[in-house]
Amino acid sequence: MTDTDIVVVLTALDLEYKAVRAHLDDTEVRRHEAGTRFETGTIRGTSCRIALALTGVGNQSSAVIAERVIQEFSPLAVLFVGVAGSLWDKPVRGDVVVAERVYAYHGGTSEDGGLKARPRAWEAPHAVSQLAHLLDRSGDWRERLPAESGSPDVRFGAIAAGEIVQNSSKSREAKWIRDHYNDAIAIEMEAAGVAHAGHLNSATVGIVRGISDMADGTKDATSDVQWQPRAAANAAAFAIALAEELVTERKALDMSRAESRPEAATSTGGTTVHNVASGQVGIQAGTVTGSTVWMNVAPTSDRIDDLAAAVADLRVRLDRARAAGEFDADTYEAAEEELDTAATALRAPNKDGRKKAVLALKRLNGLAAETTDVAAQIALVIAAVNGLS
């Protein structure tokens, strides 16, 4: 399955899962061949689609499940949603934290002079960060909060992700974080795994956490019962609003790109019309050039040759853009690699081949985002691959 208008939401705990699921309608269970269960549904009151999955606790399991859902759905974005502990007294319980970067803080090297940090970090995608700040300023996301949630603040900053439950402000681990990652404002156990899986698969990842404890020795079973559900509900409300904004923005961008294409150009012998769309296209023209076009029917498995020709046409467009100075050498080389991957994957007459081709084309689309001609044609080819039976 490939769908650029679906957002994957991952959680580690059942209570976090239920907090997200409470915002969804028309849910259906989908089973991965390895046994992982996903639920797909729409955000209540909208057509925005969500795929929800439970990872379990820890960076390793979250990385595995994150990669699995990316391969399964090729989503617009992956959001990890759940609870976290606060660092340095702010944010407070109930607040929402959106990661601007994620630290895997357990990396280091042991030397005679002590343990030396080997930092590893992942920055939040710019578009996700910008949308999250916009949501915070507008306050519209608060309409999704449960009545008992109060008025939580949204905080933006670094999140530290390790492999232990941090519940002390005086321990060796607390000192380690204070010495080496002192701009972190929250701490948890899954974000590094999800961020790394997103990095390896060129997927957009956002981390949204609700503060359920202060990570200072006051965390206990009684406070968890009170604060974990509230923190999870607050994080879920913000994340669902963010997912809706991501999908809405993507649709608006696709429409804008289509409208910005020249509708007609005069040429010898008639009119040449360039049509760009991800669905059915009506064509009225004297001459149609520069595109592989399917009329009235989506491409099926016996049209692989047509798709191969479309990929070859992409290569011509890419070369033309490079010659015009629209690609630097490194970007051009990376784009060629993705084209080669897509072409090879399309020769495999099965679902996995199609999924690999779409992922490669999506990565290519990211590289060519500033090149209208190439990006528009990539969108056509992705739609064609998705239409294969």
More confident residue, 331 or 26: 26
Query: How many separate domains does the chain show?
Result: 2
Task: Tell me, yes or no, whether 80 and 46 share the same domain.
Answer: yes
CB 143 within 8 A of CB 135: no
Of 305, 374, 376, 370, the closest CA to residue 343 belongs to: 305
Over pLDDT 70: what percentage of the chain? Answer: 84
Select from 233, 253, 273 the last residue of a domain.
Answer: 253
Task: Tell me, yes or no, whether 165 and 72 share the same domain.
Answer: yes
Task: Tell me, yes or no, whether 65 and 206 share the same domain.
Answer: yes
Task: Tell me, yes or no, whether 41 and 112 share the same domain.
Answer: yes
Task: Tell me, yes or no, whether 169 and 51 share the same domain.
Answer: yes
Q: Is residue 141 part of a domain?
A: yes
Has residue 285 got a pLDDT over 60?
no
Mean pLDDT across 12-31: 96
Count other Cβ atoms within 10 Å, centred on residue 206: 28
Q: Is residue 1 part of a domain?
A: no
Task: Tell me, yes or no, whether 20 and 163 share the same domain.
Answer: yes
Domain encompassing residue 26: 6-253
Task: Tell me, yes or no, whether 330 and 248 share the same domain.
Answer: no
Peptide bond into 91 cis (omega under 30): yes
Looking at the DSSP bridge assignments, the partners of residue 265 are: 272
Q: What angle do CA 162, 167, 169 make, to 5 degrees?
A: 100
* pLDDT for 264: 38
Cα–Cα distance, 243 to 76 (Å, whole number): 9
Task: Tell me, yes or no, whether 185 and 210 share the same domain.
Answer: yes
Determine which of 199-203, 217-221, 282-286 has the lowest per-residue pLDDT on average: 282-286
Has residue 106 got a pLDDT over 50?
yes
Cα–Cα distance, 241 to 343 (Å, whole number): 37
Residues in Cβ contact with 71 at an 8 Å cutoff, skipping those fewer than 6 apart:
201, 355, 359
* pLDDT for 70: 94
Task: Tell me, yes or no, whether 203 and 290 share the same domain.
Answer: no
More confident residue, 39 or 338: 39
Instruction: DSSP letter for 92, please.
Output: P
Task: Tell me, yes or no, whether 116 and 41 share the same domain.
Answer: yes
Cα–Cα distance, 144 to 44 (Å, whole number): 10
Mean pLDDT across 247-264: 68
Q: What angle do CA 70, 72, 78 make, to 5 degrees?
A: 30
pLDDT tens figures, 352-362: 778 888 888 88
Q: Is residue 177 part of a domain?
A: yes
Cα–Cα distance, 292 to 381 (Å, whole number): 9
Select from 235, 253, 271 the last residue of a domain.
Answer: 253
Alpha-carbon torsion (322, 328, 334, 335), positive or negative: negative
Cα–Cα distance, 258 to 243 (Å, whole number): 23
Look at the pTM and tell me if it is higher than 0.75: no
Q: Is residue 291 part of a domain?
A: yes
Task: Tell me, yes or no, whether 323 and 373 share the same domain.
Answer: yes
* CATH number, domain with residue 107: 3.40.50.1580
Residue 226, classed as helix, strand or coil, is helix
Select from 213, 237, 253 the last residue of a domain.
Answer: 253
Q: Is residue 72 part of a domain?
A: yes
Residues in Cβ contact with 189 at an 8 Å cutoff, skipping those fewer than 6 apart:
12, 57, 58, 59, 161, 162, 163, 164, 165
Has residue 9 got a pLDDT over 60?
yes
Over pLDDT 90: what percentage of the chain? Answer: 47
pLDDT tens figures, 145-164: 998 888 899 999 999 999 88
Q: Is residue 81 part of a domain?
A: yes
